[in-house]
């Protein structure tokens, strides 16, 4: 069986998801080419040895450049903080190696454009971890629409709502622009722009208005530490016991925008971090002339479907449990019907598709490339422009 050596650049939360994926893909699946967990390159100060041992990487390293340069490495996978995506990605492309990179691919639109351009020039395969595309329900929705089952697409409604950033949560790095890069918009709207482009097959033509707000404008500064690495509950308790010093939040916590697509359909987008009651509600609804679908990541194994071609008396919103090996993408790799999969399986399935593409087979559903990620980032940039200039923005204004 052919093999490819993977070099992982970075650790952290996403390093964990990716490591799990590279390990599990050979157990659950039969990829066209088997990934080998060759090297993980950590940042100075991280316990890269412990990480490598726990997750099964053969070689821990503290030199990402050497890792990328290592001729044994066939695929570079990048999970560093966002603003550090570009250097290793460029290095890998320059070295003629395919790259998989966490989303968003870059800290600025200009960086994203250069990365997409370089990938195109080099003719190398690039992959971005918009992992939600590979939830079986989402991949199935993509296939339904692509095969015309919903007819002409008229409406897209996408929201990504969370509630972890209540006003009692104290100041932390995520609320500082210089540390986090962006707020709810870059973190959440990025996902739903990608997912709606993917599922509904639509491209934005014009932003018809937007707001970008920071609803909780100040947060209490913790006495004795930044709160890094402790849970939200502990953070809130620590905040309650701290003094009365407040600092300004410098990222947005809610951004919404309206769009017109090139095909004449219209859409609404919203990201929020104080939408009380929503934990990870990456949700969309798409209405076509022949039917509609709805999805929420909080019930990621389900797709809701309304088929307007059925006899009128039995039309209704149908809750499809997308766990059927014969009918729903990726499921055959895991468990029998009615046995749920979770968040991590989206990553395993993306690892599978990456290996299949690198091994000469097709992905089950299209993988997002650097250019895809760049197009998505253009939409986000245009929405911010609309919000700040209080006017509509045509997509051609932003590149």
**Interacting span for a second copy (CB under 8 A) from 58-66, 88-96, 181-189, 260-268:** 260-268
For a second copy (CB under 8 A), the number of binding residues is 100
Cβ–Cβ under 8 Å, residues 169 and 235: yes
Binding mask 277-296 for a second copy (x = CB under 8 A): xxxxx-----xxxxxx----
Q: Is residue 219 near a second copy by the rule CB under 8 A?
A: no
Q: Is residue 157 near a second copy by the rule CB under 8 A?
A: yes
Of 45 and 390, which CB lies nearer to a second copy in the complex structure? 390
Cβ–Cβ under 8 Å, residues 100 and 198: no
Of 244 and 312, which CB lies nearer to a second copy in the complex structure? 312
Among 47, 343, 362, 396, contact with a second copy (rule: CB under 8 A):
343
Cβ–Cβ under 8 Å, residues 345 and 17: no
Nearest Cα residue to 129 out of 79, 94, 65? 79
Q: Is residue 231 near a second copy by the rule CB under 8 A?
A: yes
Q: Is residue 27 near a second copy by the rule CB under 8 A?
A: yes
Determine if the peptide bond prior to 139 is cis (ω within 30°): no
Among 121, 123, 276, 360, contact with a second copy (rule: CB under 8 A):
276
d(CA 77, CA 80): 9
Binding mask 356-385 for a second copy (x = CB under 8 A): ------------------------------
Of 111 and 270, which CB lies nearer to a second copy in the complex structure? 270
DSSP for 288-325, written as a single string = ESSEEEEEEGGGTTEEEEEETTS-GGG--EEEEE---T
Nearest Cα residue to 86 out of 67, 102, 66, 69? 102
Among 264, 362, 396, 399, contact with a second copy (rule: CB under 8 A):
264
Which sign, positive or negative, has the C-alpha torsion 331, 40, 172, 385? Answer: negative
- Residues 6 or more apart in contact with residue 390 via CB below 8 angstroms: none
Nearest Cα residue to 58 out of 72, 78, 79, 44? 72
Contacts (CB under 8 A) with a second copy, residues 296-325: 297-301, 303-308, 311-321, 323-325
Q: Is residue 338 near a second copy by the rule CB under 8 A?
A: yes
Min dist. Cβ of residue 197 to a second copy (A):
19
Residue 225 CB neighbours (<10 A):
10
Contacts (CB under 8 A) with a second copy, residues 30-69: 54-56
Min dist. Cβ of residue 69 to a second copy (A):
29
Contacts (CB under 8 A) with a second copy, residues 129-148: 140, 144
Contacts (CB under 8 A) with a second copy, residues 189-208: 207-208
């Amino acid at each position: 069986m052919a093999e490819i050596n993977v070099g992982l650049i970075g650790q952290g939360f996403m390093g964990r998801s990716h490591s799990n994926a590279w390990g599990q893909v050979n157990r659950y699946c039969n990829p066209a080419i088997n990934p080998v967990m060759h090297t993980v390159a950590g940042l100075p100060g991280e316990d890269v040895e412990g990480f490598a041992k726990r997750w099964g990487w053969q070689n821990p390293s503290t030199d990402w450049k050497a890792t990328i340069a290592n001729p044994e490495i066939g695929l570079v996978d990048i999970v560093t903080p966002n603003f550090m995506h570009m250097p290793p990605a460029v290095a890998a492309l320059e070295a003629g190696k395919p790259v998989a990179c966490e989303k968003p691919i870059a800290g600025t639109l200009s960086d994203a454009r250069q990365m997409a351009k370089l990938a195109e020039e080099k003719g190398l395969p690039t992959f971005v971890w918009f992992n939600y595309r590979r939830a079986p329900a989402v991949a199935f929705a993509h296939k339904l629409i692509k095969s015309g089952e919903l007819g002409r697409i008229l409406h897209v409604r996408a929201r990504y709502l969370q509630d972890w950033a209540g006003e009692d949560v104290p100041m932390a790095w995520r609320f500082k622009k210089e540390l986090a890069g962006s707020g709810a918009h870059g973190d959440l709207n990025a996902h739903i722009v990608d997912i709606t482009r993917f599922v509904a097959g639509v491209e934005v033509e014009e932003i018809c208005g937007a707001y970008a707000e920071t609803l909780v404008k100040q947060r209490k500064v913790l006495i004795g530490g930044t709160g890094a690495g402790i849970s939200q509950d502990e953070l809130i308790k620590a905040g309650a016991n701290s003094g009365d010093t407040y600092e300004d939040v410098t990222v947005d916590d809610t951004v919404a925008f309206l769009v017109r697509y090139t095909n004449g359909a219209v859409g609404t987008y919203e990201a929020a971090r104080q939408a009380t009651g929503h934990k990870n509600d990456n949700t969309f609804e798409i209405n076509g002339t022949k039917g509609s679908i709805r999805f929420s990541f909080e019930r990621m194994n389900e797709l809701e479907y309304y088929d307007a071609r059925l006899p009128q008396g039995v039309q209704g919103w149908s809750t499809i449990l997308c766990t059927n090996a014969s009918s729903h993408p990726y499921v055959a790799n895991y468990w029998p019907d009615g046995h749920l999969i979770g968040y991590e399986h989206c990553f395993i399935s993306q690892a599978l598709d990456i290996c299949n593409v690198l091994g000469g087979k097709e992905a089950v559903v299209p993988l997002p490339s650097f250019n895809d990620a760049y197009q998505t980032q253009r939409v986000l940039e245009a929405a911010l422009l609309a919000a700040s200039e209080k006017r509509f923005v045509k997509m051609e204004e932003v590149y």
